[in-house]
Amino acid sequence: MVRARTAARHSVHSEAESQASPVRLSDVLPVQSIKVEGAPMHTALLPSGRLAWLTLRPAPAPAAEVNRLARAAFRSDAQHEVYTRTTARQIERLRRLVMTGAKKISQAQVRSDAKVRKAILAGDGKLNREVSTQAAKFAMDLRRQRDAAVRRADDQSWRALWNFAVVISTFPLFAAYGDRRSPAGLNNFALMLSLAVWLVGDEISDFLTGEKRIAGGILEGIDVWSYAAPFANLLAGYWLLHGSQHEPFVAGLTSGFERTSSVRPPASKTSVDVYTAIVNVADKYIGPNDAYDFETFSNVPAVATLRTATVNPAFNPVNIGLMSVAVVKGNLRIDLTVTSPFDPNIPVVDEPILRSIEAAWLVDARSPAR
């Protein structure tokens, strides 16, 4: 179709060039202007009858020159009229040629359009079959991708649920073994490390060894790691920290007091008894992993107070002093001094002033260097 149109245009253009007469340059250029010169001096008759010499700049042109200019303008108009008529005839011939060429181009275009239409109709069937085949393949691929995306979304939702369970399992571990004094404490670091391992370990396991999933049941699609992570996190935290001392203070009650010293009149003016209790804090109250270190501590802060006491009726009145405490090699020593004034009317007996003693104590289990 394009070749037919181009051939028709070239035919019309060739005919127009062969029939159009050339235009001369002299036919379109204006006539050369005529230089008019007049006399520089003129004689003028004034109303008073006087004659005066006048100089006009520019000088007026003589009548002969004006007539000559008029004839030149007439000839130029005649030439222009001839050129205009000639141009009009050429335009008319060109118009007829253009109409003829347009008709030829239209006919060629109609024939070309018919051929193109046949080619398009012939290719439509093949194109439709190809499009149908590709559409079916695309729909199938899209369905598979959608099903895979739904499965991945379900897996991620279940994995997120089990990961949340892992985080929840860390709460009792922090409550039991967490270091409340320092967020960057060793116990806190160990618990956070265990949490991180059981949270991201399944991703690392899938990346290195491929997914190992459970088939069937409510746990279908969940990897074994995610399923076991909450329980494994609890066991790991207990295994790592159950033997360490995670409480900053330890406390207890003791009634194991023995009279270690006794003084009676007349050796002194008052009866004096000293009672002592030894509590093995390192072995009974400190975690086994930190018991050895606790035995090496010195100047360990500790406090004790009397909870209950039973006074011997043979002594009246009785003065109970303050308890003195000291931690030596992991053992808490509690000393209590009790006095009773001497009364001549009461016989002196060598019996304990207090028949029973129970004391409450508190020891700082942290290192004194902290």
Residue 22 is given by DSSP the state P
Which phi and psi (to 5°) does residue 286 adopt?
Answer: -95, 145
Q: What is the pLDDT of residue 277?
A: 94
Max Cα-Cα span within the chain: 188
What number of helices (H) and strands (E) belong to the chain? 7, 9
Residue from 202, 212, 192, 4 nearest 107 by CA: 4
Q: What is the pLDDT of residue 338?
A: 93
Q: What is the pLDDT of residue 275?
A: 94
Domains in the chain, CATH or no CATH each: 169-241 (no CATH), 250-364 (2.60.40)
Q: What is the pLDDT of residue 215?
A: 47
Q: What is the pLDDT of residue 30?
A: 46
Give the residue ranges of the chain where pLDDT is below 50.
1-2, 4, 12, 16, 19-20, 22-39, 214-221
Q: What is the pLDDT of residue 288?
A: 80
Residue from 103, 230, 220 nearest 164 by CA: 230
Amino acid at position 74, single letter: F
Q: CB under 8 Å to 300, separation ≥6 — which residues?
A: 327, 363, 364, 368
0.85 surpassed by pTM: no
Q: What is the pLDDT of residue 369?
A: 58
